[in-house]
Structure 1
Amino acid sequence: MRMHVMELRPGDRVTEDIFNSFGVFVLQRGASLTDEAIVKLVQHGIDYVDVEPPIKDVPSSPNQSLSASLLNLKPKFEGAIDVFETLFLESLANGKFSDEGIDETLKPLMDDLTAQKDVVSLLMMFNHQDEYTYNHSLQVGLLSFYIAVWMGYDQEEAYKIGKAGYLHDMGKCMIPPHILNKPGKLTEEEFEFIKKHTHYGYELILNSTGDETAALVARQHHERDDGTGYPYGLYKEEIHPYARITAVADTYSAMTSKRVYQSKKEQLTTLQELYKLSFGQLSGEAVQALIRHLIPNFIGKKVLLTTGETGHIVMTNHSDFFRPLVKTETRFADLAKEPETAIQEVFM
């Protein structure tokens, strides 16, 4: 059956060899179409192709299986968030916390993460405004773990980094709620108070666990390589490597989460901003590891464009990773060539 290129779907099988108008060979007879192959047809100016009739009983797609695997992880995420809430409230009441249940909760969860390839969908499960601090802390812990693995740390050390990321904001329990959850812009005095959460976190973690490294991560995760961070204005060589990884995870999570005083940013835009920050403020190695492993996860994701169109990302642009090719119902939108069009939201 003859179909217009815009009607093609991944899995369709072509019944004839395909050549462009100049006689250049494009696709072989019997080839099973992928998103990349469909894009290739468009790039060669081919409007119609002959394909086999569609089969009605189509097996479940990888995305459906992936959703099931994420669903199975959700109770473990909720359990880890509950544990953090307990630690947070215990610290507020007693000035320290018991770390007995942390490893029992986090270790099995992070072991399960190694099999989870769609990290973008996993991170999107945390986009809740309610209890931001608790959700954010787990997200930073998981993302710190992933970045460490991607940078070549072994599983044991990556777990330590993930655990430090999980505890990095513990000091916020000492910040008055009316400042911590203020919907408007903080005054200079209030911001100075917020900065103290790094000191509070250091003392809490050290006194509760004796873990000097995790305590340093809590104190240094807002330091920046160029000395513009806080609380001490340290430079790259003075900041613990674990804290530099956590800083990247913390920044990504904060930007992509909905909070009482800001709207969440679209994930690809956030990665682009992190890329810019990697030239001076954030660890270039950690940011590059994050970008390199997250970008492929966006292929196949449903998106809403600022034009109001919906579609799916079918290919990343080698010239601009952050402005991909999107297939809508009526066209292919190459965002690298449409600067006025942007992705407004990415869906799981």
Structure 2
Amino acid sequence: MRVHVTDLKPGDLLKNDIYNTSGLHMLMKGSVLSEDDISKLLQHGIDFADVEQSSNLHSNEQNLPSDQTRLLTNLFNDTIKGTESLFQEALEKGFIDESQVDEIVSTLTGQLEKQKDVVSLLLMLDGDIDYTYNHSLQVGMLAFYIAGWMGYSPEECLTVAKAGYLHDIGKSKIPSEILHKPGKLTTEEFAEMKKHTFYGYDIIKASTEDEVIAMVALQHHEREDGSGYPHGLRGDEIHPYARITAVADVYSAMTTNRVYQTKQELISVLCELYSLSFGQLNGEATQELIKHMLPNFIGKKVLLTTGQTGVIVMNNPADYFRPLVQTSTAFIDLAKERDIAIVEIYVQ
């Protein structure tokens, strides 16, 4: 089947050899196309290619099947309810039930191991549920994935997920009028807010006696350049799990609606994280997040600043954070059309 190069997808099988306009042999018949191959064809001005079309070719394989969506939706709702009860317990008693935490995290990660499309998971959590509980779930989830991408063992990944999930448990001790204040915090209020790191450490130590997980709660606002809090630690002074959790925390916070901040679009936040990885956030953890998230955007429906809707068809080799989008009437290369941007990415 003859397909325009912008409609090619990784995994397509070439039916014929491909040559450029100068007669140079580029790709061999029978090659299974990769994203780099498609980028190469675009760069050399190749317009069409003959490919073997399988039954599911060009279906939106990046989206989750409906039965998985229902299962995960129920799991996320149950997790958020469990998180709310843990925060209430921490507020009233000063400790939490570790067995409940272990059950929540074990059940959650057991399902996450089966999922590769992290973008769809985040889009499923893009609702009006209480920010703090939703955020705890997102950070635990992202920390789990980042640790796995960095090569940590399954046992270590589970610990990182648990630490990420509990990183903000200290906010249970922050007065609601500060935690949910729609405007900017005063100097005094921000000083109180920062105490959630100490509160979290104390709650976790009282509940689990796990120094590492407690340390993540204490250190997740520390920054590589020493600009963070509460102790202004730098680089390797920060626990590796806290460095992972910091990346997950910042990404989730910037992509979620809050009382004082409107969420930002997922890809543009990855671009901001890339900048932060040269000073504030751990470079390796940030790079792993970016590298594994970007392919998940292919096939996602988007809204552009022009009011048009379209589908991301390719990550752009010239600018990974400005992909190629196919609308009903045209292909829009956001790396070239700098005045056009993605406003929102939709779950389908």
Judge conservation of contact 1:26–1:41 (CA < 8 Å) in 2. Answer: no
Judge conservation of contact 1:144–1:245 (CA < 8 Å) in 2. Answer: yes
SS in 1 for 2:98: coil
Q: Distance in 2 between matches of 1:223 and 1:286?
A: 15
Unaligned segments of structure 1, at least 5 residues:
none
Q: Distance in 2 between matches of 1:295 and 1:56?
A: 25
The residue type paired with residue 275 of structure 2 is: K
> CA separation of 1:336/1:67 partners in 2, compared to 1, >3 Å: closer, same or farther?
farther
Q: Which residue of 2 aligns with 1:167?
A: 166
Q: Which residue of 1 aligns with 2:143?
A: 144
Q: Which residue of 1 aligns with 2:71?
A: 72
Q: Distance in 1 between matches of 2:31 and 2:176?
A: 60
> CA offset at residue 98 of structure 1?
1.6
Q: Which residue of 1 aligns with 2:245?
A: 246
The residue type paired with residue 324 of structure 2 is: L
Q: Which residue of 1 aligns with 2:270?
A: 271
Q: Distance in 2 between matches of 1:155 and 1:56?
A: 35
The residue type paired with residue 91 of structure 1 is: A
> CA offset at residue 96 of structure 1?
1.6
Q: Which residue of 1 aligns with 2:45?
A: 44
Deviations 1:81-128 (A, max 9, x none): 111111100111112222221212221320221220101111122222
Q: Distance in 1 between matches of 2:42 and 2:132?
A: 47
Does 103-112 or 153-162 show the bigger shift?
103-112
Q: Distance in 1 between matches of 2:184 and 2:269?
A: 21
Q: Which residue of 2 aligns with 1:219?
A: 218
Unaligned segments of structure 2, at least 5 residues:
none
Instruction: Say yes or no: does 1:120 pair with 2:119.
Output: yes
Identity among equivalent positions (%) equals: 54
> CA offset at residue 59 of structure 1?
11
Q: Which residue of 1 aligns with 2:202?
A: 203
Q: Which residue of 1 aligns with 2:337?
A: 338
SS in 2 for 1:234: coil
Q: Which residue of 1 aligns with 2:157?
A: 158
SS in 2 for 1:101: helix
Q: Distance in 2 between matches of 1:247 and 1:144?
A: 9
Q: How many residues align?
A: 345
Q: Distance in 2 between matches of 1:18 and 1:199?
A: 61
> CA separation of 1:188/1:340 partners in 2, compared to 1, >3 Å: closer, same or farther?
same
> CA offset at residue 184 of structure 1?
0.9
The residue type paired with residue 96 of structure 2 is: F
Q: Which residue of 2 aligns with 1:192?
A: 191
The residue type paired with residue 188 of structure 1 is: T
Q: Distance in 2 between matches of 1:235 and 1:49?
A: 51
Q: Which residue of 1 aligns with 2:260?
A: 261
SS in 2 for 1:280: coil
Looking at CA atoms only, which structure, 1 or 2, has the larger radius of gyration? 1
Q: Distance in 1 between matches of 2:156 and 2:6?
A: 49
SS in 1 for 2:323: strand
Structure of greater relative contact order (alpha carbons < 8 Å, 6+ residues apart): 2
TM-score normalised to structure 2 length: 0.87
Does 172-181 or 15-24 show the bigger shift?
15-24
Alignment of 1:224-235 (within 5 A): 224-235=223-234
> CA offset at residue 174 of structure 1?
0.8
> CA offset at residue 68 of structure 1?
3.4
Q: Which residue of 2 aligns with 1:301?
A: 300
Deviations 1:151-188 (A, max 9, x none): 00000110000000000000001111111001111111
> CA offset at residue 71 of structure 1?
2.6
The residue type paired with residue 105 of structure 2 is: L
Q: Distance in 1 between matches of 2:16 and 2:272?
A: 45
> CA separation of 1:42/1:247 partners in 2, compared to 1, >3 Å: closer, same or farther?
closer
Q: Which residue of 1 aligns with 2:130?
A: 131
Q: Give RMSD over aligned pairs.
A: 3.2
The residue type paired with residue 141 of structure 2 is: L
Judge conservation of contact 2:5–2:46 (CA < 8 Å) in 1. Answer: no
> CA separation of 1:161/1:6 partners in 2, compared to 1, >3 Å: closer, same or farther?
closer
Instruction: Say yes or no: does 1:102 pair with 2:109.
Output: no
